[in-house]
């Protein structure tokens, strides 16, 4: 059975988008039909990172009820080179669109939640998608909380930055717990995971801090920084340690009930 996965974080710069793109691609490479959504309406980035030409319709239009979701989806299945479906729904990167989205009222946000929830029927039941991946804005933005509420699983990208740890812990208790969401943590940009001991220490420490399962530990890779976000790592570097970590995450996610 497929799932909606929201990738969220307390702070910006924790690697949500890198994780979202590569997780979506890794799932597609494992034979799953995947659709990746840019729900970061304040700072859209998937169009640039995936080098997708200007879209005719955006996710903004779907949420505004001026476009059908089928017109928003862009087929990028050729990026993974197998028979799986790999689609993306972009957020409008125009300044006017960003301003428009930041001025929405509560009734609009309530309808937007309804339209996000409707994707389960239209895309998963109707078009055979196995996974919908929501890349969100950091913190307690309306669009991000809508994504969290719509999701079956929330992946929280976090780092060892002290303010991120404090904020993430608070968010887990005061947001995800209240919505009874299945949550897993991905610790990113870790400096020392060279030995098994240090990895075990980190796992113990994280479980103590967050009290939720740890899906993966991602070391700080210079190769990823050098690529400047322009590479789907799991596709272009299949033997890279980062790809192996993502494949492990996919295997874990696939085994969830």
Partner 1 sequence: MATPEALGRKPLQVLEKIRENLERLNEKIEVMIELQKHGKKDMLPPMADAPLDVMTLLSMPDHLRKTAMTLCRMGRATADEISGQTKRARAVESAYLNQLVIMGYLKKERTGRKAYFYVERENQGGQ
Q: Which residues form the interface with partner 1 (CB under 8 A)? A: 65, 103-111, 113-114, 117, 142, 145-146, 149, 175, 178-180
Q: Which is nearer to partner 1, 86 or 131 (CB)?
A: 131
Q: Please, what is the minimum distance in Å from the beta carbon of residue 7 to partner 1?
A: 17
For residue 162, give every residue at least 6 positions away whose Cβ sits within 8 Å of its Cβ, in sequence order, or none: none
Least distance (Å) between residue 186 CB and partner 1 = 23
Measured distance CA(196)–CA(149) in Å, rounded? 36
Least distance between partner 1 and beta carbon 109 (Å):
5
Which pair of tokens denotes residue 194?
């060279």
**Shortest distance (Å) from residue 118 CB to partner 1:** 8
Of residues 147 and 250, the one with the C-beta less far from partner 1: 147
Which residue, 111 or 199, has its beta carbon nearer to partner 1? Answer: 111
Tally of CB atoms within 10 A around 66? 11
Question: Six-digit token pair at 94?
Answer: 């125009």
**Smallest gap, in angstroms, from Cβ of residue 152 to partner 1?**
10
Region of 22 (left: φ > 0; alpha: ψ -120 to 50; beta: rest) is: alpha
Dihedral, CA of residue 77, residue 78, residue 83 and residue 88, to nearest 10: 0
Q: Which is nearer to partner 1, 42 or 205 (CB)?
A: 42
Which of 64, 77 has the CB closer to partner 1?
A: 64
3-state secondary structure of 90: coil
Select 108 or 242, whichever has its Cβ closest to partner 1: 108
Distance (Å, rounded) from C-alpha 108 to C-alpha 76?
30
Tokens of 212: 């939720």
Shortest gap between Cβ of 132 and partner 1 (angstroms)? 14
Determine which helix (DSSP H) or strand (DSSP E) holds 164, and give its type and residue range: helix 162-171
């Amino acid at each position: 059975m497929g799932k909606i996965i929201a990738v969220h974080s307390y702070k910006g710069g924790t690697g949500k988008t890198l994780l979202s793109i590569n997780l979506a691609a890794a799932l597609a490479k494992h034979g799953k039909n995947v659709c990746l959504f840019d729900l970061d309406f304040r700072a859209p980035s998937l169009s640039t990172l995936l080098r997708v030409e200007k879209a005719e319709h955006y996710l903004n239009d779907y949420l505004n009820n001026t476009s059908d979701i089928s017109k928003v989806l862009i087929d990028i299945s050729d990026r993974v080179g197998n028979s799986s479906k790999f689609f993306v729904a972009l957020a409008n990167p125009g300044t006017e669109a960003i301003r428009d989205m930041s001025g929405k009222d509560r009734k609009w946000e309530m309808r937007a939640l309804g339209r996000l929830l409707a994707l389960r029927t239209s895309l998963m039941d109707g078009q055979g998608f196995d996974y919908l991946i929501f890349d969100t804005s950091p913190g307690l933005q309306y669009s991000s909380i809508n994504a969290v509420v719509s999701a079956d699983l929330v992946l929280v990208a976090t780092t060892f930055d002290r303010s991120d740890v404090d904020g993430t812990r608070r968010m887990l208790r005061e947001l995800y717990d209240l919505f009874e969401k299945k949550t897993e943590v991905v610790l990113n940009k870790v400096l020392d995971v060279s030995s098994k001991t240090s990895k075990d220490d980190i796992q113990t420490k994280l479980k103590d801090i967050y009290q939720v399962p740890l899906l993966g530990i991602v070391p700080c890779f210079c190769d990823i920084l050098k690529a400047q976000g322009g590479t789907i790592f799991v596709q272009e570097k299949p033997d890279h340690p980062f790809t192996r970590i993502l494949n492990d995450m996919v295997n874990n996610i696939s085994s969830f009930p």
